[in-house]
Amino acid sequence: MATKTIMETGCHAASYAVRDARVDVVPGYPITPQTSVMEFITDLIEAGEMDARFIPVEGEHSVMAATVAASSAGARVFTATASQGLLYMHEVLHMAAGCRLPIVMANVNRGVMAPWTLWADHNDSLAQNNTGWLQYYCASVQEIYNTILQAYRVAEQVNIPVMVNFDGFALSHCMMPLTMLDAETVDAFLPPHDPQWKLHPNCPSSMSNVTEAKEYSEYRAMLAHDTLASLEVMKKAAAEYRDVTGMWDGDSVECYRMEDAEVVAFAMGSMASELRLSIDALREQGIKAGLLRLRVYRPFPADDILAAIPEGALVVALDKNRNFGHSGGVLAAELRGVLYGVRNDVAVRNTVVGIGGVDTNFNDMAEIIRLEYTLEKEGE
């Protein structure tokens, strides 16, 4: 296995992964902070490093419509978006999942308006949690590259589209070491796309037809069942990627210093990576802290979360989103749902941090966790 390590941004890491996956068709439309993904893909195509068709369209709704069309015709496809662009795609996201198309899309997390912001929170992607798409959340530039390759392996096995999320600017525009694989290694992990069914003029067929109630209900039940079952495929893809490449980001979750933890930080995205420093700082203060990073959000890995949390631990969920209509954030609500009636020994506290680019460094997060731990111990 030959590798090449360079300093690169998250956006360019995504583009290199798309090149190495030998994607055929890339519909795209610019939106900050995703624009660099599409710009760099067009550079790779123009330079002859990537044999693909780039399709510029007039907006994100058309981007996903073109992506659905290309995938239906049997192409390996990719697109990327962010924030309002993802929301504009919402209608067609349901179609992509319902048609069981193995699309991979990168979403560069950015807060949604109003008011207007260019900085990250997770409400754009969390708003799509019931569209039928699988969702990953990355914590490093290297993980973006690794996860996009894994996403194709998963999507083309289960025929469900996959969204790979990473934080705007914190990962999209920051440079970190990136190790890229040679073509032979990628091909050993990701075989050529060979769909069992596709639209073709030599074999006339159709898709997404009107159904009676019984058939519609059965199709939705099948998608729900297969979405849950896809978690094992995602975990297997992560393990096989490690076996082929030696690189590991975790499968559904990533645990750090969890074995004897009395207080557990629960988070996802770039801040979850920085939380490792918070955990180390708390350990130096004599607090037995650990980190449970959520890597796969859809399907929600309930059993893996339950197995990872030590008995009697306090979990402090740090949400980079607002769960409107509920107190706190979405992760805390999901976690409480998983724990209810199953792990009554576990308490959950919740803090919303980093919304819209508010800087929250590892010392700030360590202090949040320490304070919640102290209040819980004091019974407040």
CATH assignment of 3-245, among 3.40.50.970, 3.40.190.10, 3.40.1390.10, 3.40.640.10: 3.40.50.970
Sign of CA dihedral 256, 258, 263, 265: positive
CB-based contact 25:53 (threshold 8 Å):
yes
Per-domain boundaries in the chain: 3-245, 253-377
Question: What architecture (CATH level 2) is domain 253-377?
Answer: 3-Layer(aba) Sandwich (3.40)
Closest CA to 104 of 62, 151, 54: 151
Tell me: pLDDT of 190 over 80.
yes
Extended strands (E) in the chain = 3-8, 25-28, 53-56, 78-81, 104-109, 134-137, 162-167, 176-181, 253-256, 263-267, 289-294, 296-298, 314-319, 347-352
pLDDT of residue 300: 98
Query: For residue range 36-91, what is the model confidence (pLDDT) as tens digits?
Result: 999 999 999 999 999 999 999 999 999 999 999 999 999 999 999 999 999 999 99
Alpha-carbon distances of 67 from 70, 73, 194, 256, rounded to whole Å = 5, 10, 17, 38
> DSSP code of 71?
H
Question: Cis peptide leading into 27, omega within 30 of 0?
Answer: no
pTM exceeds 0.95 for this model: yes
Q: Average pLDDT in the 257-277 region?
A: 97
Assess whether the region 3-245 and the region 253-377 belong to the same CATH fold.
yes
β-strands 134-137, 296-298: how paired? antiparallel
Distance CA 189, CA 192 (A): 10
pLDDT of residue 83: 98
Alpha-carbon distances of 102 from 95, 153, 154, 194, 302, rounded to whole Å = 12, 9, 8, 11, 24
| Two tokens, residue 182 | 């040679």
Query: For residue range 219-256, what is the model confidence (pLDDT) as tens digits?
Result: 999 999 999 999 999 999 999 999 999 999 999 999 99
Helical pair 141-158 and 213-245, crossing angle rounded to 10 deg = 130
Beta bridge partners of 294: 253
Distance CA 26, CA 103 (A): 11
Radius of gyration over every alpha carbon of the chain, rounded to an integer in angstroms: 21
Distance CA 264, CA 289 (A): 6
Query: For residue range 158-177, what is the model confidence (pLDDT) as tens digits?
Result: 999 999 999 999 999 999 99
Tell me: pLDDT of 378 over 90.
no
pLDDT tier at 130, thresholds 50, 70, 90: very high
